């Protein structure tokens, strides 16, 4: 039997699954649609990685690898929820929790030396960062705001901070000797296996990557960021922020760029606290404490060092003498530099722009900020939006247009597939990419510590991306812009391929039945926001990183959140991957649940994804009833929004669990009223009446548990029974769903 796979992930989405999945299973059972879960949570991935070292009763299968294979099959139908993209501090915390639960796992080795440590580090390195998305994304991305969501946002606009023409907020970026500036790019003319090697001045050669298989037509890039130039740049920006009296903040992607960006983050920490590292750098290093893990890890580790008090004093002196730092949590002293995964550029920059271009400062108020984005590849899009807001004021959610996205992400495209090809130069010399005949395709002169990386973009995904862009352009009639910069090496090669593949889709640039064009990212962003202000839509067709950035930037401005986007990934081999919106996995929501038994997470993304998943299931399996379910769910979601049944922000009203009840109620009522399937309508008429008549009782049971601590048995790996009990406290609703499953509909 064909199945829908519902992923079991982390934090707030995982907890919400305990509440919502029973609703889905009950309703789907009426159409013969079977659902199965796969554990791709951070804790699950860790356990699977060490399964051979655990007793049989603790072992779990490698669900991520299994789903990676399934994603390449035409029968794939996967609903993917947000998951933790683990930084090293998060990974260490998850390991410690699992060890406390009885799993015999090794500690994460910061400086592996023995064979066992090297083996453990290799296993953990496959888990950290955004290990999930590159495996599952065997197709390109189609992300847009559904009309029901957009209509709701216009009628119920979210708050937007006012902008001042005097705002001192800006983006600072290198522009020279960074990844963009040093990039080289080639298109392979045949299948081959490349090698990456480092050669010192005396001719000594170290192989950095022995085997890099490539296919004909593939685009391969190589580049590096000069650490000496980075240090000079950072020192200048720290002085600039202090002189301008604005908050200093750094915005990176230490989760997805899990090798390069933690290193860059470490350089920022060192640049901000030079006296600390001049005086105590050796002691910190000897204790295995790295600036790459952030200020929080350094302070915690220093507690057990003889120099601990001196280290803390040096940190306080650095904070006092430097510019004011942007804060993650000003009440608890958590700065922008505490944890590399706390400030993620694609979420932090839109939030800043939405909030008058300001961030929270150490005194607990908001202020203008200098947003430091070291690599200049995409920094210009944020400066373009900031300049527009400074000139024209904040956007108006009641009238603004939309910027849907078609994103090139299949098969680990572009920078997001670079982690296994990213290296710190071990010494001054040359890093080169060599083909199987010994010909050098790319080479760079590097200094010790420079960050060098290569990435790949296969031809089949590029061809599919162009086709998807034309398809969406024809379906919408909206102007469609490829965000590509002809002055950048990689983009020049993509432009060549776009021009070659458009005719295959009966399309061309600047003419024909659809409006297609190519602009640099900054120019495309300026063009798009000009149209937004006029209420007009513009499709952005972007590479993988800009896909990530744009599908947070514009939804946060339009809708207040990126979690309400419809995110469809038509898999290249015919299957479907349905992502439940962006927006992270909301650790603060989990903390509130444990403290107050109240979960504010909004599952709207799951509702949207499930509807299209059911319709895809219907098309592939010729299951008319599944289509009825999906279409009814779509209408129910519109009612859900109009009735404003998303989780409230206040205890004593409905939270995530209550929103699931109302979705179930509206879904049942839509199914009862539909005319395509009379037997289904009759069955759900009874369910709808029962749910409606039980509304007060169910709400009483769901709201009645709030205001007290909740025990879920773990943060990274909650106890299943405890989590079910917390997330399903309504015996009335549970009984109605059980009766539906037992019924022969």
- DSSP lists the bridge partners of residue 38 as 7
Residue that finishes a domain, picked among 373, 398, 417 = 373
One domain for residues 134 and 256: no
Rg of the chain over Cα atoms, rounded to whole angstroms, equals 26
One domain for residues 249 and 354: yes
Percentage of the chain exceeding pLDDT 90: 88
Strands (E), 636-690: none
Residue 428: Cβ within 10 Å count: 14
What are the residues whose beta carbons fall under 8 Å from the beta carbon of 9, sequence distance 6 or more?
17, 40, 41, 80, 81, 82, 83, 84, 585
Instruction: For residue 600, give the nearest of 557, 654, 564 by alpha carbon.
Output: 654
Asked whether residue 408 is assigned to any structural domain, the reply reads: no
pLDDT digits (tens, 9 = 90+) for 686-703: 999 999 999 999 999 999
Burial 219-238 (b: 16+ CB within 10 A, else e): bbbbbbbbbebbbebbeebb
336's tokens: 């922008």
Rounded to whole angstroms, what are the CA distances from 482 to 129, 519, 532, 541, 666? Answer: 28, 6, 17, 5, 40
Asked whether residue 28 is assigned to any structural domain, the reply reads: yes
- DSSP lists the bridge partners of residue 542 as 407
Give 220's Cβ-side CA count (13 Å radius): 28
The predicted structure's pLDDT at residue 389: 98
Strand 405-407, strand 539-542: pairing = parallel
Asked whether residue 590 is assigned to any structural domain, the reply reads: yes
Task: Indicate the pLDDT class of residue 581, thresholds 50, 70 and 90.
Answer: low
The predicted structure's pLDDT at residue 590: 93
Positive or negative: CA dihedral 656, 658, 660, 666: negative
Residue that finishes a domain, picked among 373, 395, 420 = 373
Instruction: For residue 84, give the nearest of 342, 415, 383, 446 by alpha carbon.
Output: 342
Positive or negative: CA dihedral 415, 416, 421, 423: positive
Asked whether residue 643 is assigned to any structural domain, the reply reads: yes
Strand 34-39, strand 3-8: pairing = parallel
Q: Is the pLDDT of residue 512 over 90?
A: no
The predicted structure's pLDDT at residue 362: 94
pLDDT digits (tens, 9 = 90+) for 375-389: 999 999 999 999 999
Tokens 């199965």 locate to 36
If one counts the domains in the chain, the total is 2
Q: Is the pLDDT of residue 533 over 70?
A: yes
Asked whether residue 463 is assigned to any structural domain, the reply reads: no
pLDDT digits (tens, 9 = 90+) for 286-328: 999 999 999 999 999 999 999 999 999 999 999 999 999 999 9
Task: Indicate the pLDDT class of residue 620, thresholds 50, 70 and 90.
Answer: very high
The predicted structure's pLDDT at residue 585: 56
One domain for residues 280 and 133: no
Full 3-state SS string of 344-390: EHHHHHHHHHHCCCEEECCCCCEEEEEEECCCCCCHHHHHHHHHHHH
pLDDT digits (tens, 9 = 90+) for 84-113: 888 888 899 999 999 999 999 999 998 899
The predicted structure's pLDDT at residue 510: 78
How many residues does the structure list for the chain?
A: 745
The predicted structure's pLDDT at residue 239: 98
One domain for residues 134 and 235: no
pLDDT digits (tens, 9 = 90+) for 710-740: 999 999 999 999 999 999 999 999 999 999 9
Rounded distance, CA 286 to CA 304, Å?
13
Asked whether residue 646 is assigned to any structural domain, the reply reads: yes
Q: If you average pLDDT over every residue of the chain, what do you get?
A: 94
Asked whether residue 162 is assigned to any structural domain, the reply reads: no
Over range 434-442, report the average pLDDT: 97
Q: Residue 324: which domain range?
A: 170-174+228-373
pLDDT digits (tens, 9 = 90+) for 358-369: 999 999 999 999
Contact 162, 393 (CB under 8 A): yes
Query: Hey, is 322 helix, strand or coil?
Result: coil
Percentage of the chain exceeding pLDDT 70: 99
Over range 549-575, report the average pLDDT: 90
Residue 528: Cβ within 10 Å count: 28
Using CB atoms within 10 A of its CB, is residue 190 exposed (0-12), middle (13-18) or buried (19+)?
A: exposed
Contact 427, 200 (CB under 8 A): yes
One domain for residues 276 and 133: no
Residue that finishes a domain, picked among 344, 373, 402 = 373
Task: Indicate the pLDDT class of residue 582, thresholds 50, 70 and 90.
Answer: low
Q: Is the pLDDT of residue 129 over 80?
A: no
Asked whether residue 216 is assigned to any structural domain, the reply reads: no
One domain for residues 619 and 729: yes
Strand 184-187, strand 77-80: pairing = unpaired
């Amino acid at each position: 039997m064909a199945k829908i796979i519902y992923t079991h992930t982390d934090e707030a989405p995982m907890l919400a699954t305990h509440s919502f999945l029973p609703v889905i299973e009950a309703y789907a059972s009426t159409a013969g649609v079977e659902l199965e879960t796969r554990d791709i949570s951070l804790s699950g991935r860790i356990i699977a990685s060490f399964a051979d070292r655990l007793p049989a009763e603790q072992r779990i299968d490698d669900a991520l690898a299994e789903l990676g294979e399934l994603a390449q099959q035409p029968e794939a139908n996967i609903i993917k929820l947000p998951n933790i993209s683990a930084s090293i501090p998060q990974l260490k915390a998850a390991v410690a929790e699992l060890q406390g639960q009885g799993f015999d796992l090794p500690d994460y080795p910061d400086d592996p030396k023995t064979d066992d440590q090297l083996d453990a580090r290799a296993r953990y390195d496959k888990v950290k960062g955004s290990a999930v998305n590159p495996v599952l994304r065997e197709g390109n991305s189609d992300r847009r705001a559904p009309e029901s969501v957009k209509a709701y946002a216009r009628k119920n606009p979210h708050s937007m901070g006012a902008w001042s023409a005097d705002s001192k907020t800006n983006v600072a970026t290198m522009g020279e000797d960074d990844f963009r500036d040093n990039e080289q790019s080639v298109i392979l003319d045949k299948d081959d296996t490349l090698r990456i090697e480092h050669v010192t001045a005396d001719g000594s050669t170290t192989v950095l990557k022995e085997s890099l298989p490539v296919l004909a037509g593939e685009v391969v890039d190589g580049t590096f960021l000069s650490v000496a130039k980075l240090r000079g740049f950072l020192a200048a920006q720290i002085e600039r922020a202090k002189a301008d009296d604005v908050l200093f903040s750094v915005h990176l992607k230490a989760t997805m760029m899990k090798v390069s960006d933690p290193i860059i983050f470490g350089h920022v920490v060192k640049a901000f606290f030079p006296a600390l590292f001049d005086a105590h750098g050796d002691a910190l290093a000897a204790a295995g404490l790295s600036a790459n893990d952030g200020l929080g890890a350094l302070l915690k580790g220093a507690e057990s060092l003889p120099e601990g008090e001196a280290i803390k004093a040096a940190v306080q002196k650095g904070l006092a003498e430097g510019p004011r730092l942007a804060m993650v949590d000003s009440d608890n002293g958590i700065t922008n530099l505490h944890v590399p995964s706390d400030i993620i550029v694609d979420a932090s920059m839109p939030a800043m722009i939405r909030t008058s271009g300001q961030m929270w400062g150490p005194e607990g108020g908001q202020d203008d900020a200098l947003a430091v984005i070291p690599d200049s590849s995409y920094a210009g899009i944020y400066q373009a939006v900031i300049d527009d807001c400074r000139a024209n004021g904040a956007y108006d959610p009641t009238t603004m247009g939309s910027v849907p996205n078609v994103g090139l992400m299949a098969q680990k495209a572009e920078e997001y597939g670079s982690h296994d090809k990213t290296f710190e130069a071990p010494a001054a010399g040359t890093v080169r990419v060599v083909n199987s005949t010994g010909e050098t395709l790319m080479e760079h002169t590097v200094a010790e510590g420079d960050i060098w990386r290569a990435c790949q973009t296969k031809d089949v995904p590029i061809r599919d991306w162009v086709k998807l862009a034309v398809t969406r352009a024809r379906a919408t009639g909206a102007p469609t812009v490829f965000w590509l910069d002809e002055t950048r090496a990689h983009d020049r090669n993509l432009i060549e391929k776009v021009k070659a593949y458009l005719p295959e889709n009966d399309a061309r640039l600047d003419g024909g039945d659809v409006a297609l064009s190519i602009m640099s990212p900054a120019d495309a962003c300026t063009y798009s926001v000009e149209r937004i202000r006029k209420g007009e839509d513009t499709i952005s067709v972007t590479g993988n990183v800009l896909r990530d950035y744009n599908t947070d930037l514009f939804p946060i401005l339009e809708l207040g959140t990126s979690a309400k986007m419809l995110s469809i990934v038509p898999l290249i081999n015919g299957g479907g991957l349905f992502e439940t919106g962006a927006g992270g996995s909301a650790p603060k929501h989990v903390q509130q649940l444990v403290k107050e038994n109240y979960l504010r997470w909004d599952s709207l993304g799951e509702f949207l994804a499930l509807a299209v998943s059911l319709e895809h299931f219907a098309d592939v399996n010729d299951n008319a009833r599944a289509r009825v379910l999906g279409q009814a769910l779509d209408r129910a979601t519109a009612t859900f929004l109009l009735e404003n049944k998303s989780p409230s922000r206040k205890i004593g009203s409905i939270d995530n669990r209550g929103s699931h009840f109302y979705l179930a109620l509206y879904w049942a009522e839509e199914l009862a009223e539909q005319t395509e399937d009379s037997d289904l309508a009759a069955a759900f008429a009874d369910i709808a009446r029962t749910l409606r008549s039980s509304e007060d009782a169910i709400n009483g049971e769901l709201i009645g548990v709030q205001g007290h601590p909740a025990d879920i048995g773990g943060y990274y790996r909650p106890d299943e029974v405890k989590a079910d009990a917390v997330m399903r406290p309504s015996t009335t609703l549970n009984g109605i769903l059980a009766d539906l499953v037992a019924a022969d509909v």
